Amino acid sequence: MALTSKPLTAKTWPAFARLVEKHNGIFGGCWCISYHLKPGEKRHGYAAYKAMKKVLVRQGQAHAALVFDGQNAIGWCQFGPTAELPNIRSKKVYEEGLRKLPDWRITCFFIDRERRGDGIATFALREALRFIAQSGGGTVEAYPEDYTGEKTSNSFLCSGTLGMFEKIGFKKVRKIATRRWVVARRISPALPNGNGA
C-alpha cells in the first residue's frame, strides 16, 4: 500500500470534498467543522458547514494531513494552532485543569469506510506531525479515547485511540472524561532535510 499525504489546501480541496460527500458530509453533515466553532456559536447544516469549511481552507485557517491512495483521498488527520480549533470535547473539565494552552491541537480523524483497519489513521497522524514540524513545531495536544479491550463503533473513535498516540510518543497528561485523555508531545522544528524530532 503506497500511501502519500498532502496538506489540506485550496488545491487539495476537491479531493477532500469528494471524500466528505461520499460519506454524506461526515457525521450528519459536520464537514469536519465542529472543532472550529466557538463556544455557543449557532449550529448550522450541511450546506453552511461545507461553505464555512471551504472559506477556512482558502484562508489557510483549516489544516489536515490528507492521505491519498493514488489520486483519491482516503482519510485525514485534522490539526491546527489552538486558536484555530477552540471547540474540543469535555471542554469544561479540560479548562478546570488547564495550566497552559498547547501550540497545536490534533482534534479528529476520518477514514473512508472501505479502508478502515488498514493503519491509515496512524499514517495520517505521523504526517500531521511532520507538517507541524515543518511549520515550526511546538507542543501538540490531542484528546483520544481509551476503549482498550472493548469493542466500540468507529463513530466514537473520531478523536483517535489512546494506544495509537502512545505508540508514537505521546504521553498521558490527564483524564477529562470516562474514556477521554489529554495527551501531549513536543515536536521539534523540521531540520533543513525536512525531518523533525
List per-residue pLDDT tens for the chain, 197 residues long: 589 999 999 999 999 999 999 999 998 899 999 999 987 777 788 999 999 999 999 999 999 999 999 999 999 999 999 999 999 999 999 999 899 999 999 999 999 999 998 999 999 999 999 999 999 999 999 999 998 766 655 555 689 999 999 999 999 999 999 999 999 999 999 977 655 54
Helix H, strand E, coil C: the string for 91-157 is HHHHHHCCCCCCCEEEEEEEECCCCCCCCHHHHHHHHHHHHHHHCCCEEEEECCECCCCCCCCHHHH
C-alpha cell of 179? 474514556
Does domain 4-187 match CATH 3.40.630.30?
yes
Picking from 153, 187, 195, 151, the residue whose alpha carbon sits closest to that of residue 171 is: 187
Place of cell 495509537: 164
Model pLDDT, residue 156 = 52
Q: How far apart are CA 137 and CA 182, in angstroms?
A: 18
- Do 79 and 104 contact (CB within 8 A), yes or no? yes
Angle (CA) 176 98 60, round 5°: 95
Pairing of strands 138-142, 104-111: parallel
Give the global pTM: 0.91
Residue spans of the domains in the chain: they are 4-187
C-alpha cell of 81? 494552532
Picking from 115, 123, 139, 137, the residue whose alpha carbon sits closest to that of residue 6 is: 123
Model pLDDT, residue 152 = 57
